[in-house]
């Protein structure tokens, strides 16, 4: 399973909780985390990598170059939303092309059960699927 998070430095600890909870409830799955970021410190990368490694998962980091986001302005609710929130919209251009399927998860969640059923869902060549939510971005 390939799992994607988009985070900035402030969300490292939340992402660590999401990773730990996902690994706890998906022990028999081969998991690779793909973390898209613009400013993670080496310390934060090490924390997330080591956490994943303890359960046999791999971790890849993808740096978003500043020029990719030049011209983007985060105004509405900017005290709550960082530019990293919008990286999910750029995933096709940020992740490797050989990655044919991935599950994007917000970094401030708890995974309370296996996500195998979600992973095994046949999308019939549909490019993207998600849940409907009133307050989702």
Confidence at residue 90, expressed as pLDDT on a 0 to 100 scale? 79
Task: Map out the domains of the chain as residue ranges.
Answer: 2-119
Residue-wise pLDDT tens digits, 20-79: 999 999 999 999 999 999 889 999 999 999 999 999 999 999 998 777 767 666 555 556
Q: Which CATH number fits domain 2-119: 3.30.70.270, 3.90.550.10, 1.10.260.40, 3.40.718.10?
A: 3.90.550.10
> What does the pLDDT average to over 8-31?
96
Q: If you average pLDDT over every residue of the chain, what do you get?
A: 88
Q: What percentage of residues in the chain have a pLDDT greater than 70?
A: 87
| Closest CA relative to residue 85, chosen from 6, 24, 9, 2 | 6
**Cβ within 8 Å of residue 121, ≥6 positions away:** 129
CA 64, 105, 86: angle at the middle one, nearest 5? Answer: 40
User: Which pTM does this prediction carry?
Assistant: 0.87
* β-bridge partners, 26: none
Is pLDDT larger for residue 82 or for residue 107?
A: 107
Three-state SS at 34: strand
Q: What is the mean pLDDT of residues 78-83?
A: 65
pLDDT for 134: 63
Q: Sort 128 into a burial class: Cβ within 10 Å, 0-12 / 13-18 / 19+.
A: exposed
Strand ranges of the sheet holding 58-63, from the earlier edge strand across to the other edge: 58-63, 32-37, 2-7, 103-104
Buried residues in 59-81 as b, exposed as e (16+ CB within 10 A): beebebeeeebeeeeeeeeeeee
């Amino acid at each position: 399973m390939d799992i994607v998070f988009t985070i900035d430095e402030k969300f490292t600890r939340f992402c660590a909780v999401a990773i730990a909870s996902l690994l706890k409830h998906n022990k028999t799955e081969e998991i690779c985390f793909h973390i898209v970021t613009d400013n993670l410190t080496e310390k934060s990368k090490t924390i997330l990598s080591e956490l994943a490694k303890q359960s046999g998962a791999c971790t890849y980091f993808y740096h978003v170059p500043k020029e990719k986001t030049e011209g983007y302005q985060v105004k509405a609710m900017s005290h709550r939303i960082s530019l990293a929130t919008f990286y999910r919209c750029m995933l096709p251009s940020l992740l490797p092309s050989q990655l044919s399927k991935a599950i994007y998860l917000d970094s401030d969640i708890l995974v309370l059960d296996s996500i195998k059923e979600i992973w095994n869902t046949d999308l019939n060549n549909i490019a993207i699927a998600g849940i409907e939510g009133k307050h989702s971005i």
